Amino acid sequence: MSNSRFDRRNFLKAGAAAGSVFVLPGIVSAQGKPITVGVIYVGPRDDFGYNQAQAQAAAAAKKMAGVKVLEEEKVPETVAVQKSMEAMIEQDGASLIFATSFGYFDPHMLKVAAKYPKVFFAHCGGMWTQGKHPANTGSYFGYIDECQYLSGVVAAHVSKSKKLGFVAAKPIPQVLRNINAFTMGAKSVDPAFTTRVIFTGDWSQPVKEAEATNSLLDQGCDVFTCHVDGPKVVVETAEKRGAFTCGYHASQAALAPKGYLTGAEWDWSTPYATLIDAVKAGKQPPNFLRGGLKEGFVKMSAYGPAVPDKAKKAADDIKAKMVKGEFQIFKGPLKDNKGAVVIPAGTTLSQQDPKLEAMNYLVEGVIGQI
């Protein structure tokens, strides 16, 4: 991967020096013709986590007729990603770019999108706003908090200490939403449950992730989940010390044969296919693409051997309601962990509510601070 990135960037520099003019494919001119899609990852594609889940979708896209997929891994959230995007477009003729990491969006993706108005840029997790962001940009994300809620339900049936552990990267809305949903799922089983959270400060900090997990274990937490790019360290650390885990991003069951309970997984192949099909057909891709269990954007990991039948039934019953649209996670009265009312009584926020994508609080029952 590093070699391909080097080649593309050198090509870009050479083209600029020679004053080359490139003809770029247009969003509305594909009309079923073969297209080139670029996928950029902030970490390795085999991280048992966030990047691996995206790479699984890219692998599925490679099997689509008339689609060529380019991939670059370990591209930091700096000007480096701008260079990677431009090289994919100018050297390889990419007409659709999947910018998969949170920090790629602003300013990097937005700057490149302004330069290449005929290319569509899809960002994972960003909040695309009509009138504010270019029409050739958009965001895709899944309501994985549904799966985190179900993980919390399962965790509560297994935990003996009623203390859950959560290792998180950054206190952005998507992360807070997962922490809160996991906690609320556990508290739906028993209000006495608490979740202790430690933020490491970045998406991939293996040493800090291990330290955080051990610290939470020492505090009595016996079931863990996380929101970091690669859950491998958290899962393996908990397994070594006899604790249980609920995975995230992709399945980590192979890493914890005894303690893996279930997990919240992405199925990015669903939004990838939607966006690729639109570009292939010469249509404007959707700028704001969201879905949950019902739409096939997310899924649960298979239950591990330590999950009792009672837990399976409780989670499966709620999951069935979620799929039917009959279950909403965030409804009032709901307080944050400082005692302030964040959702008043009688108010229910649907998964599509923009207020949830701007979440800036931890709910009652979470021990930790932003």
Q: What is the pLDDT of residues 36-56, one digit of tens each?
A: 999 999 999 999 999 999 999
Query: pLDDT for 92-120, tens place per residue?
Result: 999 999 999 989 999 999 999 999 999 99
Give the residue-averaged pLDDT of 224-240. Answer: 97
- Statement: residue 200 has pLDDT above 60: yes
**Do 99 and 40 touch, CB atoms closer than 8 A?**
yes
Pairing of strands 341-343, 298-300: unpaired
Mean pLDDT rounded to a whole number for the chain: 92
Provide the 8-state DSSP code for 194.
E
**Do 30 and 282 touch, CB atoms closer than 8 A?**
yes
**Do 215 and 228 touch, CB atoms closer than 8 A?**
no
Q: How far is the C-alpha of 92 from the C-alpha of 72, rounded, in Å?
A: 13
Query: pLDDT for 141-188, tens place per residue?
Result: 999 999 999 999 999 999 999 999 999 999 999 999 999 999 999 999
**What's the pLDDT score for residue 31?**
57
Give the H or E element holding residue 274. Answer: helix 269-280
**Do 126 and 102 touch, CB atoms closer than 8 A?**
yes
**Do 172 and 142 touch, CB atoms closer than 8 A?**
no
Give the C-alpha distances (Å, rounded to integers) separating 138 from 101, 128, 222, 347, 357.
13, 6, 39, 29, 15
**Do 167 and 228 touch, CB atoms closer than 8 A?**
yes
CA dihedral 300, 56, 68, 277 (to 10 degrees): 10
Give the residue-averaged pLDDT of 19-40. Answer: 60
Q: Which residues contact 257 (CB under 8 A, 6 or more apart)?
A: 239, 304, 305
Structure tokens at 164: 């859950």
Structure tokens at 14: 């050479």
Give the residue-averaged pLDDT of 5-10. Answer: 40
Place of tokens 């992360």: 175
Structure tokens at 263: 């997990």
Q: How confident is the model at residue 357 (pLDDT cuts 50, 70, 90)?
A: confident
**What's the pLDDT score for residue 32?**
58
- Statement: residue 27 has pLDDT above 60: no
Give the residue-averaged pLDDT of 58-72. Answer: 97
CA nearest neighbour of 186 among 325, 369, 363: 363
**What's the pLDDT score for residue 127?**
76
Q: How confident is the model at residue 4 (pLDDT cuts 50, 70, 90)?
A: very low
- Statement: residue 20 has pLDDT above 90: no
Q: How far is the C-alpha of 251 from the C-alpha of 73, rounded, in Å?
A: 20
**Do 223 and 261 touch, CB atoms closer than 8 A?**
yes
Q: How far is the C-alpha of 258 from the C-alpha of 245, rounded, in Å?
A: 10
328: region left, alpha or beta (phi > 0 left; psi from -120 to 50 alpha): beta
Could you tell me what percent of the chain has a pLDDT over 70? 91
Lowest-pLDDT range of 69-73, 127-131, 210-214, 321-325: 127-131
- Statement: residue 61 has pLDDT above 60: yes
Could you tell me what percent of the chain has a pLDDT over 90? 89
Q: What is the largest CA-CA distance in the chain?
A: 68
Phi, psi of 331 (to 5 degrees): -145, 155
Structure tokens at 115: 């330069």
- Statement: residue 23 has pLDDT above 50: no
**What's the pLDDT score for residue 15?**
35
